[in-house]
Amino acid sequence: MKKIGEYLVCHKQTCKILAIKDNYYILEPLDDPSLKMKIPTDSKVLRDLIEKEDINKLLKSIPAINTIDSSDRLIENTYKELMKRGTYEDLITVIKTTYLRNLNRKNNNKKISDKDNSYFLQAEKYLYTELGVVLNLDFESTKKYVIDTVSKYN
């Protein structure tokens, strides 16, 4: 069992444990401190944060993670499914796909897609918040660390 002040991931959100009462964690999502969640300590929706050693393995794998076919008319359904599963690879697929789709739109003097941008920001929030806690970095520093590290592997 975790201790008060430690962190867990609950439904893809990185949370701080505020209290433990009667086999329930009282959690506060880092990206929404106004929200408090009461979750059983043995709930299947909880998991530990990624290990520091596993972060570099994950970052090394990013260039090999495929994007979604941008001509897919049902791309939003694919985004939803990836976000629902929420594995690191799923989040990276969403980030890479939406980033490249929006970059392509910008390069063609078109407005970026609100839908793509929304999924991009949500996937970034889940991934970088968790990595940031493990790396002891704020959100923007985590994002920069990921981009700088991945660029070494490209």
How far apart are alpha carbons 42 and 68 in whole angstroms? 35
- Each residue's pLDDT tens digit, 3-62: 999 999 999 999 999 999 999 999 999 999 999 999 999 999 999 999 999 999 999 999
pLDDT, residue 69, reads 86
Phi, psi (deg, nearest 5) at residue 21? -135, 125
User: Would you list the domain boundaries of the chain?
Assistant: 7-47, 52-153
Strand runs labelled E in 41-148: 46-47
User: Is 130 within 8 Å of 91 (Cβ atoms)?
Assistant: no
52-153 domain in CATH 1.20.58?
yes
Q: At residue 94, what is the residue type?
A: V
Which two tokens mark 103? 């970059």
Q: How many Cα atoms are found within 13 Å in the side-chain-facing hemisphere of 142?
A: 18
Chain center to CA of 77: 18
Which residues is 37 bridged to in the sheet?
A: 27
Per-residue pLDDT tens over the stretch 112-139: 989 999 999 999 999 999 999 999 999 9
Q: Enter the pTM of the model.
A: 0.92
